[in-house]
Structure 1
Amino acid sequence: MKNVLTILLVTILFSCSNNEKIKEGIGQVETQSIDENKIKVLNMATFHMGFTNDANSVEYDERNLKNKKEIHSIAKLLSAFKPTVIILESSPEYNEKLQKEYKEYKNNPKMEFKNPSEGELLGYELGRISNVNRIYGIDHKMGYNYRLIDSLAKSKNEKIYLDFMDYYGPISETKYENGNTLEKLKMENKPEYLDYLIAYNADIMTHISTKNKFEGADVAAKYYQRNLRMYSNLNKISLTQNDRVFILMGSSHIAFFRDFMRRSPKYNMVDVFEYLK
């Protein structure tokens, strides 16, 4: 009787173990299937190469022939991704104008722009050599007060904020200024720098407030809101599993998109350093 019970117990345990393995196997197959069906995205951060209203800007001569040559070389590297759609930091309301101008550039790559930005310099050129037909802007402007600290009463946490703001983050200012265009873009896309930008643009503001109020947190919330609305604009664009999406935007926006897409059931981010070599 004892032997029978032992055999029965072993059989039950073996059966349960197999069932768990089967469930695991099914889960793995489903996950792999979902991953294979995700839309490939190359999510690339850039500094603003032309005029910008942003609080932070980089000294860069967008009309310098050497710089333009470097940018076109980078476009050639990125073309290995084989994009089918290009996304830029431009408002959707200008999409018709954007697409018209891009088409003109494809027909005449020597055309001059009044105020060229990274969109025209890099985005258009990548699209042209990759024969991309679809290009969209997804930006969403919102007002928020980065000078909030100047108008607030002294806060016991103000020193934490100021110390952080004085810290330049994982990028060496001298190395950045002396770097060529490719080296600058590599630094802009460092994961630790992108994490720093989320804290710099939003999270650190939570240290600024007056009694019983949340001024800093509210400013941070607006920056999150802006990026979520930009992400919503992306999600309004009709895409299929066959599309390969190249996104080119300012580094802080890419930092947020990197977080959003990391958890997304729809998108599969490709490592930008596979192409920035």
Structure 2
Amino acid sequence: MNFATFHFGYTPDAYKVDFDENDKRKQEEIRQISKMLANFKPTIICIENLPKYNAEINQAYQDFLDNPSELNTNYGESSMIGFEVGRLSNVKKLYGIDNHMGYNYRIGEQIDNAIDSITYNEYLKEPFKYDPELAELDRDFEKLSLQEKLKYYNHPKKLDFNININADNLMYAGTENGFEGADEAAKFYQRNMRIYSNLNRIPMTKEDRVFILMGAAHAAFLREFIQRSPKFEMVNTLDYLK
């Protein structure tokens, strides 16, 4: 299961969702959502954390298992959902599969764009112009329950949008003889390819059931890789958010 989410705690991302991870009502919602996701019965859980910190986060996970009455908010959704799904599924350890690479997603606004500034700027200004369904969901986003927000984040059109807004739109940007936008987009593609490679480093058998918990942009790319893979069979995440 490839599960897309927004970040519950601090994030350096340009787009942030207003979310109080210490709100007890929100935490109860997270418990209920985690219970739904645990119906997938995962045997392996992957989170948006660097592999080099696996020992640290698994110590925190063990501490949570010893006292699960309070959700661990220190690692955002990785600990709030990841730890709880792991506890409910009796998973022994979690795997970080993230990889950090810097890229300038604003490059198109910082150069003399000679490729297609009209398409680039119009998409940034009105990204949902040609998709009324997404426009309506996005417009009402703050009114949605947490469950409905996460269903929106896992909507196939929303996942496609995350690839377009984070990478593909940059390919309309570049100087007269340059490929500045495409080169920056390639960095983001590369980062997500490395994340997928980290996923494939994890020892697993055909009987394993892998739950991947990542920010929506990464989940969007992983969806593309996984659905074409001869190794994995991807379930419909929305089937478990009911």
Fold match by TM threshold 0.5: yes
- 8 Å contact kept, 2:46–2:211: yes
Q: Where does residue 25 of structure 1 map in the other structure?
A: none
Partner of 1:159: 118
Q: CA deviation at 1:112?
A: 6.2
Within the alignment, does 1:117 sit opposite 2:117 as a pair? no
Alpha-carbon distance in 2 for matches of 1:191, 1:92: 28
TM score, norm. by length of structure 1: 0.82
Question: What does 1:133-212 correspond to in 2, within 5 Å?
Answer: 133-155=92-114, 157-169=116-128, 170-171=134-135, 172-212=137-177
Choose the corresponding residue for 1:108, options 50, 64, 67. Answer: 67
| Structure 1 residue 275 corresponds to structure 2 residue 227 | no
Residue 6 of structure 1 aligns with which residue?
none
- Relative to structure 1, the CA distance from residue 104 to residue 241 in structure 2 (aligned partners, 3 Å threshold; closer, same or farther) is same
Give the paired residue count: 236
For the Cα contact (< 8 Å) 1:201–1:252, is it kept in 2? yes
Q: For each residue in 1:67-109, what CA deviation from the matched residue of structure 2 results, as whole angstroms up to 9, or x when unmatched?
A: 0000100011111111111100000010011111111111111
1:182-237 alpha-carbon deviations (Å, 9 max, x no partner): 00000000001111111111111010000111000000100000000000001011
- Counterparts of 2:167 and 2:229 in 1: how far apart (Å)? 22
What is the CA–CA distance in structure 1 between the aligned matches of 2:28 and 2:99, rounded to whole Å? 31
Change (3 A) 1:156 1:84: closer
Structure 2 gaps, min length 5: 129-133
Assess, with a 3 A threshold, how the Cα gap between structure 1 residues 216 and 173 changes in structure 2: closer, same or farther.
same
Matched, 1:87 2:46: yes
Unaligned runs of 5+ in 1: 1-41
Residues 60, 114 of structure 1: alpha-carbon distance in 2 compared, 3 angstrom cutoff: closer
Q: CA deviation at 1:173?
A: 3.0
Question: What does residue 131 of structure 2 align with?
Answer: none
The answer as to whether partners of 1:152 and 1:209 remain within 8 angstroms in 2 is: yes
Residues in 1 aligned to 2:22 and 2:127: alpha-carbon distance in whole angstroms:
28
TM-score by length of 2: 0.94
Q: Would you say the 8 A contact 2:30–2:81 is kept in 1? A: yes
Q: From 50, 64, 86, give the equivalent of 1:127.
A: 86
Cα gap change, 1:206 to 1:81, in 2 (>3 Å): same
Shift of 1:155: 2.8
- Determine if contact 2:103/2:188 at 8 Å carries over to the other structure: yes
Question: Partner of 1:254 in structure 2?
Answer: 219
Q: How far, CA to CA, are the matches of 2:146 and 2:110 in structure 1?
A: 37
SS in 1 for 2:15: coil
